[in-house]
């Protein structure tokens, strides 16, 4: 029995020296201290009485020695594990950082915001109007009766609901704004998407933004319209930029003009405009004998084409990163 105790101590100390992890140490500790030694000490009762004191004494000594050895080895292993963790998890602070991929605003959104800000600085409020319109507001109330040939100016996306369409321009918002504010004076812009069943080419898209402008008050004149549009062009493109007004026709303005701005690729039409037609003022709730107004509708995508000398409007919605990343 004494020999068994001595062997157990020697073997355990050797195993303790060899193991390297806390898990192994815990397994060994419970096997030896809770298992084998306890078993030996319990069996003392079955020994001849004269052997019992020696075995009991050695048993206790071995247990104390091993407990101390386990405690000491435990400290060592914990220190080793900590050192290993620190080494493996070490951060090399001299490595170059990984670049964070950030998105940016779409060039069309950026110009739209720039355009809106210029109008805001010039005293215009933003008025949001709906994308889905009824035929009346998009056409009839804007002095474009049913079956009138002027409807052909805007190729329309119809819905399955009778009379419900996608707005072909932001001008129907004029009616909503006037009906909300009449008879107060108005100075608003109405930005938003418009939709046209259009033959797509370098300057025409099916879906594009417009920024409508509407000013209504007493004594608003054509010269106010011209001065305002020139002031916008100069704020957007610089004071040297040339602007020209061409006679045109829109059923909801009289007289009507189209506004071109000169760019690297020649003149580009960026807006239609004119003095609000008396019929439209009346439909909006203003007495045309007392009130007058001007309105315009510009295409911010066209404004962007001009600003960055982009040759084709189709780049905007093709989602080609080589194009988009340039902005």
The least CB distance from residue 238 to ligand FA5, in Å, is 20
The site string for ligand FA5 over 254-293 (x = CB under 6 A, - otherwise) reads: ---------------xxxxxx-------------------
296 near ligand FA5, judged by CB under 6 A: yes
The least CB distance from residue 241 to ligand FA5, in Å, is 16
Among 129, 137, 143, 253, binds ligand FA5 (CB under 6 A): 253
Q: What is the DSSP string of 15-44?
A: HHHH--SHHHHHHHHIIIIIIIHHHHHHGG
Residue of 43, 229, 34 lying closest to 124 (CA atoms): 229
171 near ligand FA5, judged by CB under 6 A: yes
- Yes or no: say if 280 and 256 are a contact pair by the CB < 8 Å rule: no
Which is closer to ligand FA5, CB of 66 or CB of 225?
225
The Cα–Cα gap between 206 and 195 comes to: 6
302 near ligand FA5, judged by CB under 6 A: yes
Total residues at interface with ligand FA5 (CB under 6 A):
25
The least CB distance from residue 245 to ligand FA5, in Å, is 12
Count of Cβ atoms closer than 10 Å to residue 247 Cβ: 9
Residue of 282, 138, 126, 294 lying closest to 215 (CA atoms): 294
Residue of 152, 184, 189 lying closest to 168 (CA atoms): 152
- Measured from each CB, the residue nearest to ligand FA5 is 299
Stretch near ligand FA5 under the rule CB under 6 A, chosen from 9-17, 59-67, 106-114, 299-307: 299-307
The least CB distance from residue 307 to ligand FA5, in Å, is 13
CA distances, 23 to each of 14, 16, 19, 20, 71 (Å): 17, 12, 9, 9, 14
Stretch near ligand FA5 under the rule CB under 6 A, chosen from 51-59, 157-165, 200-208, 318-326: 200-208
301 near ligand FA5, judged by CB under 6 A: yes
């Amino acid at each position: 029995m004494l020999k068994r105790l001595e062997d157990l101590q020697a073997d355990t100390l050797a195993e303790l020296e060899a193991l390297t992890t806390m898990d192994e140490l815990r397994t060994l500790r419970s096997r030896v201290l809770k298992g084998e030694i306890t078993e030996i000490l319990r069996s003392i009762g079955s020994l001849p009485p004269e052997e019992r004191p020696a075995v009991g004494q050695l048993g206790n000594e071995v247990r104390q020695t091993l407990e101390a050895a386990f405690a000491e080895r435990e400290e060592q292993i914990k220190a080793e594990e900590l050192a290993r963790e620190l080494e493996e998890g070490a951060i090399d602070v001299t490595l170059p950082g990984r670049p964070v991929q950030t998105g940016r605003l779409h060039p069309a959104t950026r110009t739209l915001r720039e355009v809106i800000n210029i109008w805001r600085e010039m005293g215009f409020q933003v008025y949001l109007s709906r994308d889905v319109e009824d035929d009346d507001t998009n056409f009839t109330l804007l002095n474009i009766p049913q079956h009138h040939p002027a409807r052909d100016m805007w190729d329309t996306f119809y819905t399955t609901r009778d009379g419900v369409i996608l707005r072909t321009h932001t001008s129907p918002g004029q009616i909503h704004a006037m009906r909300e504010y009449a008879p107060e004076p108005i100075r608003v812009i109405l930005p938003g998407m418009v939709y046209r069943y259009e033959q797509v080419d370098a300057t025409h898209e099916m879906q594009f933004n417009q920024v409508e402008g509407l000013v209504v008050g007493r004594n608003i004149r054509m010269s106010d319209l011209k001065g305002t549009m020139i002031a916008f062009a100069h704020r957007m493109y610089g004071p040297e930029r040339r602007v020209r007004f061409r006679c045109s026709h829109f059923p909801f303005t009289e007289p009507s003009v189209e506004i071109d701005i000169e760019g690297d690729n020649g003149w580009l039409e960026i807006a239609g405009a004119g003095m609000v037609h008396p019929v439209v003022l009346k439909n909006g709730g203003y007495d045309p004998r007392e009130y007058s107004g001007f309105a315009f509708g510009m295409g911010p995508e066209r404004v962007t084409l001009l600003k960055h000398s982009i040759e084709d409007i189709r780049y905007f919605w093709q989602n080609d990163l080589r194009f988009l990343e340039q902005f």
